[in-house]
Amino acid sequence: MFFAGIILVSLIGLCAGSFANNVIYRVPRKISVFKPRPFCPDCGHGLRFFELIPMFSWLFLRGKCRVCKKRISVRYPLVEILCVVLFLLMAGYSYSAVPLWIFSFVLLTVSFIDADTQEIPDGLLIFGAVAGVLWVLVGFVLPLPRVPVWWDSLLGVVAGAVPLFVLDRITLLLLKKDGFGYGDVKLMAMVGLFLGWQLVLIAFLFAFIGGAIFAAYLLATGKAKRGTYMAFGPFLCAGSLLAFWFGRFLFDWYIGVSI
């Protein structure tokens, strides 16, 4: 029964990952995620059913389009595998799994879209926020795991959005340019619904450490110069997931050491 559950969740994660690839490619290009049918971005060839099997089609076709033979990015199976891993990790939270799957799906797609375009689509954030609100509301009735109380979610929204907004205003005032996009502000407001105010602070900690390390790497290797804009959404998304899994332990440890 246990292994059957793993297989089922993995299949759901693969399908969700395939849809995530669709969203990542189409949403920035203003193409409907439902039509036309999936196609090769190089030659426009409409994909057949055997070319749409998550991960396995990429392996079967050896990472190339069947018609034009152009290489298909390894990112496609990577996104599908990441989605499976996230879904399996969230599956252990019982009835909370579905909203947490949506949370993971939104963070995954936002990460790749922001990395590509330095923009975060409002539609994805609204989708995640609705799931977060419903999750908290249902938590009034059912004893769902990891659901923050309503006031903690509200404080999480404030703790997620306000610091980035203030930092952006300060950066604009001192350096005459934006420090953070409003997409990042809205992203962390959505994250706050799921994490609550304490874990949002931990998410910021992880995100700024990760972002600083990556920025230092870019500067050291000459791949970026000072003042170059860098997509911060992927670090916020990764930090939010790490905070969800490990933030409570880290927060309690810090409080224990401080006291």
User: Tens digits of per-residue pLDDT, 126-151?
Assistant: 999 999 999 999 988 888 888 999 99
pLDDT at residue 257, rounded to an integer: 65
Mean pLDDT of the chain: 91
CA angle 163/122/207 to nearest 5° reads 40
With a cut of 70, list the residues of the chain below it in pLDDT. 1, 179, 256-259
Tracing tokens 């999936």 back to the chain, one arrives at 38
d(CA 159, CA 83) in angstroms, rounded, equals: 27
Work out whether the CA dihedral 49, 53, 54, 59 comes out positive or negative.
negative
In this prediction, residue 253 carries a pLDDT of: 81
Distance between CA atoms of 145 and 90, rounded to whole angstroms? 11
pLDDT for residue 194 = 97
pLDDT of residue 258: 58
Q: Cα 100 to chain center, whole Å?
A: 11
Other CB atoms within 10 Å distance of the CB of residue 223: 9
As given in the structure block, the two tokens for residue 110 are 């936002």
Question: 108, 170, 147, 114: which is closest to 244 by C-alpha?
Answer: 147
CA distance 254 to 259: 9
* pLDDT number for residue 172: 79
